[in-house]
Structure 1
Amino acid sequence: MQADAPRDIPAPTTSPEPRTPAGRSGRTRTGPSLLARGAAHDPYRFYRMLREQYPLSYDAPLGAWLISRYDDVTAALTDPRFTGFPHDGAPRGGPAPLGLCHGSARCLPTDRYTVVTGTVPAGHAERVERTAYVLARRIARRPRADLVEEFCRWLPAGLGRDMNGAPQGKTAAPTGDALCVRDTALRETALASFLANLLDDPDLLAALRIEPALAGRAWTETLRRDPPVQVVLRRTVAEVTLSGGTLPARAPVACLIGAAARDPQRFAAPDVFDPFRPDQDRALTGPPGCPAVALGRLEAEQGVRALLDAMPRLRWAEGFRPAATGLLTRGPRSLLVRPG
């Protein structure tokens, strides 16, 4: 079934490019805009319409072509015919900023984006664990708390130093690793989505108390279903044919990560949060060499362990339901809970 168009999205018109693939005739339609009001309110409904009806369309207000299917987005992130945009200095075929990665040159290129296997130094791991337990114990004394304000915001910042060991606030220029690690906003957003998904599933929380290793799968599933970065910009350096048509060289392209992550052609029941899904290795989580990606996973694993140890009966506050907001980056802005 095709989704209805969100309100306030203009009817499609025609555009002279990109050309349709060889052997076909006609012109690719200009589709609905990512900047329309209805799109920001419920982007996943909007994404579904794009995948089904406009897999390659020009967004005039944005000034870029939209791609929404998993195979097309994966191609744009890894194919050497795409490069970084608006900063075209990225190596051709190198990693685009994705997930928790900001596109540091130190994030090694890979032929595909896959589940993170990287690690962080032991000293940083100990500091994350200590910070998580301090924050959790403070929250446990309260009848009601907001995990975004009192936990998610402070756990990434609690590292205190960048991955190279330089104190924050110094004037020395950050190295490649620090370019990704020092910006904690995306890790805060991803951690909030992770905790929201766990609190929505009391059975999963109970299982985590018995088997903490499940947190890693829940984290990867969160980055798939609720990616903190919803849109990645690229540019073609040569003509590229995708499922919906052919892009010319030098075309700006908006890769809709949130749409690709819920493509039913790649993931079974894509809207369902399922840490046990067998196709988890296809999630677009970011380049494995990025230190911010590895650190975000560590913060999620240590964070939920500290919260459950300090608050075994942690649950939503009465009447509260989390609501994600944002279009380019997206996540819940508050998580009201009862610690006791």
Structure 2
Amino acid sequence: MPVVSPDVSVLSEDFAADPYRWFPHLRERAPVHYEPAIDSYFLSRHEDVKRVLTDHEAFTTRTLQVRAEPVMRGPVLAQMTGAEHTAKRKIVVRAFTGQALEEHIRAVRANAAELMAPFLPRGRMDLVNDFGKPLAVHVTLDVLGLDSGDRRRVAEWNAGVTEFITSLALTPGRRRRCLECAEQLEAHLRPVIEQRRRAPGEDLISKLCTAGFDGIAMSDREVTALVINVLAAATEPADKTLALLFKHLIDHPEQLAQVRRDPGLLPAAIAETLRYTPPVQLIPREAEEDTVFGGGTVPAGATVFCMIGAANRDPGAFSDPDTFDIHRPDLGTARSFTAAAQHLAFGSGLHQCVGAAFARAELDTVAGMLLPLLDRVRYRPGFRYRESGLYTRGPVALPLDFTPARKGGTGLG
């Protein structure tokens, strides 16, 4: 029989307001929690979540045919296995490593400098809406080789795609709107793909257009799906993680001072942010057979949501897990952006996030630029912090005040 916790529903307003408050209850009393309204199971213990994510035969990504494929306009990397997955994943990984990564980071610096420049003399900005969200879109468009002049439209369409993927329940009207966004994004990409087939460059779309699988070039549908896959995956977590990083450092001024004195601690601060408040909170899988966990049984064919935020705060995996500590010995900065990571913010196993190395480099670069510029950084008076999102989660806004940069001393030239 499914275990329904009488004290909490993952779909409730109380849970949405602060899921971290409820994670200990779920881990201890309902580690296999059932939500009848959406006929899905939620796992909250680190051991159970890791087991699901690493056993891709017992827990498949078939659920993405419904949750993602309609707006991705085709199968995404997480749905693939075997030789196809290996070949296509390798193409995407190459776009985020080596010389390509160095070129992307130069573009990250340029985009960040351009976006920051108007705010430095004012001494105030909203790190989420003025900077983080537009930066994530700018950077991803650069990686893909899309015209930055189209960023507003692309961002709007991408928001619809993301809403479809990350919503646990959509009204018919919102579902139609999300599908319309996906159709418009596909129509926008179609002539770009045709042009890159004729005259490829060094961008990711060109590489997808010129690469093949089993000696056969990928179809326009396959390229489109991978492009939208990258667009959604690269924009959503990036802006949230940057804002969360600064929130935690501002809330822990002694650790902020340590990072300012020793920038070499910045990767540890990023890794701890990913553990403490992962931007991706839920990862779905489908059970191939009845599976017994410590707190109950998941039946064959059921949708299972791995609760990354709860797993990353499991005292069975981390000491004093509800404390933000960039010096924690059980995290391991070096391995936190690899397949050996103890935290699960990038997933785990076969379908671990392909952009982990790029995420580290991007966040390290941008935060490293901002920290010296945002002197005496603090929340704007009267600000009340609020987060939103169940599937992906981050600050709604983060309005900051700081000492305005002196003329000629911005360090952005």
TM-score w.r.t. length of structure 1: 0.78
Q: Distance in 1 between matches of 2:307 and 2:378?
A: 33
Amino acid in the other structure paired with 2:386: A
SS at structure 1 position matched to 2:119:
helix
Q: Percent identity?
A: 33
SS at structure 1 position matched to 2:323:
coil
Q: What's the Cα RMSD here? A: 3.0
Residue 229 of structure 1, aligned match among 262, 275, 280: 280
CA positional deviation for 1:212: 1.8
SS at structure 1 position matched to 2:10:
coil
CA positional deviation for 1:200: 1.8
Matches within 5 A, 1:79-228: 79=55, 80-87=57-64, 103=78, 105=80, 121-159=101-139, 161=141, 163=143, 165=145, 167=147, 170-171=189-190, 172=193, 173=220, 174=223, 178-183=227-232, 184-228=235-279
1:285 alignment counterpart: 345
SS at structure 2 position matched to 1:35:
coil
Q: Distance in 1 between matches of 2:128 and 2:374?
A: 16
Q: Distance in 2 between matches of 1:160 and 1:68?
A: 32
TM-score w.r.t. length of structure 2: 0.65
Amino acid in the other structure paired with 1:74: K
CA positional deviation for 1:237: 0.6
SS at structure 2 position matched to 1:238:
coil
Amino acid in the other structure paired with 2:44: S
Tell me if 1:52 matches 2:103.
Answer: no
Q: Distance in 2 between matches of 1:300 and 1:181?
A: 17
- Taking structure 1 as reference, are residues 199 and 180 closer, same or farther at Cα in structure 2, changes over 3 Å only? farther
SS at structure 2 position matched to 1:283:
coil
Structure showing the higher helix proportion among its residues: 2
Residue 336 of structure 1, aligned match among 373, 388, 399: 399
Q: Distance in 2 between matches of 1:245 and 1:142?
A: 55
- Taking structure 1 as reference, are residues 211 and 176 closer, same or farther at Cα in structure 2, changes over 3 Å only? farther
Amino acid in the other structure paired with 2:237: L
Contact conserved, 2:128 with 2:397, CA < 8 A, in 1?
yes
CA positional deviation for 1:165: 4.0
- Give a deviation string over 1:207-265, Cα, whole Å, max 9, x none: 22332222211111111111111111111112222111232221211211111111111
CA positional deviation for 1:70: 0.6
Q: Which moved more, 1:238-247 or 1:45-54?
A: 238-247
- Taking structure 1 as reference, are residues 188 and 29 closer, same or farther at Cα in structure 2, changes over 3 Å only? closer
Contact conserved, 1:56 with 1:67, CA < 8 A, in 2?
yes
1:323 alignment counterpart: 386
Contact conserved, 1:65 with 1:251, CA < 8 A, in 2?
yes
Q: Distance in 2 between matches of 1:77 and 1:179?
A: 23
SS at structure 2 position matched to 1:181:
helix
Contact conserved, 1:35 with 1:62, CA < 8 A, in 2?
no
Amino acid in the other structure paired with 2:230: V
Q: Distance in 2 between matches of 1:234 and 1:134?
A: 40
- Taking structure 1 as reference, are residues 321 and 204 closer, same or farther at Cα in structure 2, changes over 3 Å only? farther
SS at structure 2 position matched to 1:271:
coil
Amino acid in the other structure paired with 2:47: D
Amino acid in the other structure paired with 1:334: A
CA positional deviation for 1:29: 5.0
Q: Distance in 2 between matches of 1:177 and 1:118?
A: 17
Tell me if 1:312 matches 2:375.
Answer: yes
- Give a deviation string over 1:37-80, Cα, whole Å, max 9, x none: 21111211222111111111321112111211110111111112
- Give a deviation string over 1:13-38, Cα, whole Å, max 9, x none: xxx35xxxxxxxxxx45554211221
Runs of 4+ in 1 over 3 A off after TM superposition: 28-32, 101-110, 117-120, 160-170, 173-181, 287-292
Q: Which moved more, 1:69-78 or 1:42-51?
A: 42-51
Alignment length (residue pairs): 299
Q: Which moved more, 1:220-229 or 1:243-252?
A: 243-252
Residue 62 of structure 1, aligned match among 6, 31, 38: 38
CA positional deviation for 1:186: 2.5
Contact conserved, 2:272 with 2:325, CA < 8 A, in 1?
yes
SS at structure 1 position matched to 2:376:
coil
Q: Distance in 2 between matches of 1:237 and 1:81?
A: 5
